[in-house]
Structure 1
């Protein structure tokens, strides 16, 4: 097998997980919450604050070193609104301002701009001025320098992404009037000035966040007679119903006294402080807005994902347990198998460079209790002594056919052509069949509707952690799922390790196809679509060797996953067909798509969310769900092992299987899906020493 997968698939996997973890970080850390508007800080010493600032106007400019304080023109009021935009209160404020034909200045929080960029666009479209209020309402007077830079850079970026403009106006959170500036505030003013910002304070604080009613807001916001004012109100950060109720009355009151309303820049005689943002800033800001919107939506999306995965997992466990119980009752009602009463059988063994295992495989077939068995070994261009090893089994029932290396499907078709009987068992060369397995397989053909029979594949090399995990998987996943498919009568796979076919059924489908790399899945689905039942015999055992390294396991499961995708796509039209084909299309294929393709896609993300939540203590839901999932899998594993009469001593491996092995298999599935989406995947390579290795349906998470 030669993988022609593009390198880009790893970047896709890494990129998706990185974005997921980044949005988790943004949600739980950056977007943890905005400070309550109106929260006051205890005032400290102010001996370093210049008198021109503490006794000056509300707009402070220190960008050139020497502080310049600008006061409001007499008879002028600049309405300012902090902590927005808010989807509830900002539209109401905008409607009132439009009705009164009054401009205002909105100091926006970057996080809220990212969540509701359309509201900031509405503010600028209506002619209002927009300034910054940091990204998360951080206290700039106590924040470290790096956080000040991050807060302002992120705020500036999202504003550029939302409206394509930049601004130099900044109102620090928790600020008040010039005479309230202390040494910490002054240091923050100097730091932000070095970044190019004007600091905008206020002269009248409406205290709308603590006012008892609208009248209280109006009374506090009215400036002394004739004096200009920068009035502080809020359009976000909490319940602003009192602000909305007071706003229209406040405007009417001051207009009646001869005041005019304008923006902060105009109120202090400055030119407009908004300028077009560079194109790069707009692109970066747009990308940041999209990322932050995804982060905001992530908790709800994760909850839905977690709920959906939990529902699918519970449905699968319940379905498998119910099917296993029903299958057990059906098996108990079967008549004992009498080898003499079963039809004669031919066994086809495709082999390529299997010198070490082929003789043991053939001897087990001859010792299986069927004196009439016909064994056909097809040496598919081996470069070792495979053919000689097969011929070393001196028995007239064994025939060895050699051919140039053409791949497993061609080897199987050649073996079928040389087979003497109408019932044909196919066995991999590295597999040993248990005594009586052939007779149990062929007994199923007493039902003339049966076209193929899948046996029960077991792990032979149960030494080491990786093979033991696969042993549990073969029993829990493969074994229980094939019992379910047997009840459907439309199994999607006849494993290459042990499977039997009716010759007429194979002929009806044109033999073993090389259209996919999962020929054992492809032929099973083709038989179902031709009207033949594909059933399972759980008492027909075959012992096969499984990969012992992660690399070998990854390559094997990648082929299985990709081959299953090919087969599902090839036979997708079975969904609308009648009979056995309809059972395949409307029962088996949805199971494969839901539980062997969709469910694995969620596992790495849910594991990441659980570990992230556990590390930061943000949410117990993913962790508790994961624990419940492990306990359910443990119960299912015990039940499955009992069904197959296997020892329970390896149950302790199930929790480890959930944390490592299952995640690896899920990543393999994602690998196959990404490869398919990018238009490249594994292909048969005839001269590869393991070209005959079986491909079967990709395992569901165990």
Structure 2
């Protein structure tokens, strides 16, 4: 090292500053995640799943994996499961529901595929105090619902999230699924640490998250949720979980996440290159939501300052990560120049080899919580290193293309504005038919949840049309 630094010590200062900063905060996250503890089950629970829980599943293409997921949901004995799909998929989804449990699974429709519209339609059909949104392939442990409901014993908690793990689509995980599993392991650490440090988190993942119905039944929420625009003109369909999390923060509600085996769901990921399209969509949603939270709404700064810090950190993360190979490339270039002409003593291959060893060692250490359970995945660490640099470039690309709001990995998800217009037309027709005195069919009235407590008030309302 003395031989190396004798060339020009200042060139190593950027390495040292960036490395010290990154690994200091990673050590803080690990420590916070280690001391974090989930909320235990109460002796006399306020909420009982069979009376207080409705599971809403927005989907358009559920397959055989839905059956396994639905059976796992029913173990927790929810009052009802509502499947919301588009009209042309009613038949296939009804057949799937009938094959599982037609008495507790109800299928309803919207005119066109639109996730937020499907979710809002399910909300309006709910009569219980707690709503749990779930993906159609999310497999729960038997203890999932009791551990979710335990968090709602605190009347300030408006939303609850869970930890996650990848369920392989085939007999063995593909490299894409392993990369997804690595990301989920890191995410579980991040959300448990932020929950412990200041009680917040960047996002209650839409794969499974629970909310108080009284929050979601608010007409202001329903309108903002289905009329959400980026920069006032790009109608958003994805990013629903980000919106929900920001809404809770802006309206004074607390969140909690249960990171434990008793509340750890299994979810499938794209087992091929389409995983990259998923990541691109998630990355765009993250950029839009974090920029709103930090600079437009700004409630996050006072309610969850640590989460605000992590959001700022992620804004600069792709640039700091790419700075590493740029600095290494500069040192390798200087190593090819003779010393008497300002070059470095150390051979270029020594610099490159040292950098690769350092990357492998640090990334392996970062993934130890995953590798402890699946040591065979260590062969994919080099792929994870390469993916990290690709992801940094992707984040910059996503930042430059935030106007692109398509789903990316799901066919049939059309324009959200057209879907909303079709739903409004159907609603108007149903209301007109219900008010017709010659129509002897009773109109459907949705019961409201019992108002057990007042909603926290804000001095000013937040707008989501920006």
On whether the aligned pair clears a TM of 0.5, the verdict is yes
Whether the 8 Å contact between 2:79 and 2:104 is mirrored in structure 1 is yes
CA distance in 2 between counterparts of 1:574 and 1:338 reads 42
Whether the 8 Å contact between 2:192 and 2:259 is mirrored in structure 1 is yes
1:632 and 2:362 aligned: yes
CA distance in 2 between counterparts of 1:463 and 1:439 reads 30
Whether the 8 Å contact between 2:175 and 2:380 is mirrored in structure 1 is no
Whether the 8 Å contact between 2:242 and 2:289 is mirrored in structure 1 is yes
CA distance in 2 between counterparts of 1:504 and 1:573 reads 28
Q: How does 1:125-524 map to 2 (within 5 A)?
A: 303=12, 305-327=14-36, 330-331=37-38, 334-336=39-41, 342-343=47-48, 344-367=52-75, 369-370=76-77, 372-381=78-87, 383=89, 385-461=92-168, 463-475=173-185, 477-487=186-196, 488-507=198-217, 510-511=221-222, 512-513=225-226, 514-515=228-229, 516=236, 517-524=238-245
Question: Can you list the C-alpha shifts for 1:32-55, whole angstroms capped at 9, x where unaligned?
Answer: xxxxxxxxxxxxxxxxxxxxxxxx
1:669 and 2:395 aligned: yes
Question: Can you list the C-alpha shifts for 1:367-409, whole angstroms capped at 9, x where unaligned?
Answer: 2x32x43111111345582333223323422111112124111
Instruction: Tell me which residue corresponds to 2:250.
Output: 529
Cα distance, 1:583 vs. partner? Answer: 2.9
Whether the 8 Å contact between 1:685 and 1:691 is mirrored in structure 2 is no
SS in 2 for 1:571: helix
Whether the 8 Å contact between 1:575 and 1:581 is mirrored in structure 2 is no
The alignment of Structure 1 onto Structure 2 pairs a total of residues equal to 375
Instruction: Tell me which residue corresponds to 1:569.
Output: 291
Question: Can you list the C-alpha shifts for 1:154-191, whole angstroms capped at 9, x where unaligned?
Answer: xxxxxxxxxxxxxxxxxxxxxxxxxxxxxxxxxxxxxx
CA distance in 1 between counterparts of 2:244 and 2:18 reads 31
CA distance in 2 between counterparts of 1:409 and 1:341 reads 29
Instruction: Tell me which residue corresponds to 1:688.
Output: 411
Cα distance, 1:468 vs. partner? Answer: 1.4
Whether the 8 Å contact between 2:178 and 2:377 is mirrored in structure 1 is no
1:600 and 2:310 aligned: no
Q: CA 1:346 to 1:631, structure 2 compared with 1: closer, same or farther past 3 Å? A: same
Aligned Cα RMSD in Å?
3.3
Q: CA 1:563 to 1:687, structure 2 compared with 1: closer, same or farther past 3 Å? A: closer
CA distance in 1 between counterparts of 2:269 and 2:410 reads 21
Q: Which runs of 5+ in 1 are unaligned?
A: 1-298, 693-702
Question: Can you list the C-alpha shifts for 1:482-512, whole angstroms capped at 9, x where unaligned?
Answer: 1022122122211111111111233456044
Whether the 8 Å contact between 2:114 and 2:413 is mirrored in structure 1 is no
User: Which structure is richer in relative contact order (CA contacts within 8 A, separation 6 or more)?
Assistant: 2
Instruction: Tell me which residue corresponds to 2:302.
Output: 582
SS in 1 for 2:155: coil
SS in 1 for 2:364: helix
Q: Compute the TM-score of the two structures, normalised by the length of structure 2.
A: 0.71
SS in 2 for 1:415: helix
Whether the 8 Å contact between 1:611 and 1:623 is mirrored in structure 2 is no
Cα distance, 1:571 vs. partner? Answer: 2.3
SS in 2 for 1:435: coil
Instruction: Tell me which residue corresponds to 2:310.
Output: 591
CA distance in 1 between counterparts of 2:293 and 2:375 reads 41
Cα distance, 1:600 vs. partner? Answer: 2.3
